[in-house]
Amino acid sequence: METIMSNEVQRRLSVGEQVNIIDVREAAEVRNGKIPTSIHIPLGLLEFRMNELEKKKEYIVVCQSGGRSSRAVKFLDYHGYHVINMEGGMLAWEGEVE
């Protein structure tokens, strides 16, 4: 499984790179803040909403600590998506939230 550190995601965003982030946390968790530009698809709905994603794009998947995003990455990878797990999740995120 491909992984990325949160500081690398922050660096990419700070230099204006197009970064596609999927937040798989529950709605109550996202209300406390999410990474700007990320899309919220709770892990339990991922199977039903993966058609909203494009297989040609790279996605970074994030959750609270890295466990759920790891499961999401395995699931999406199996279905042919290019996905990367952000290690440490939002607990490791030190950047801006919205």
Report the chain's terminal Cα–Cα distance, integer Å: 28
- 4 within 8 A of 83, measured Cβ to Cβ: no
Q: Which of 97, 76, 89, 88 is nearest to 1 (CA)?
A: 76
Tokens at residue 61, please? 């998947």
Amino acid in position 62: V
Residue in 19, 63, 76, 83 annotated catalytic:
63
63 is catalytic: yes
Active site residues: 63
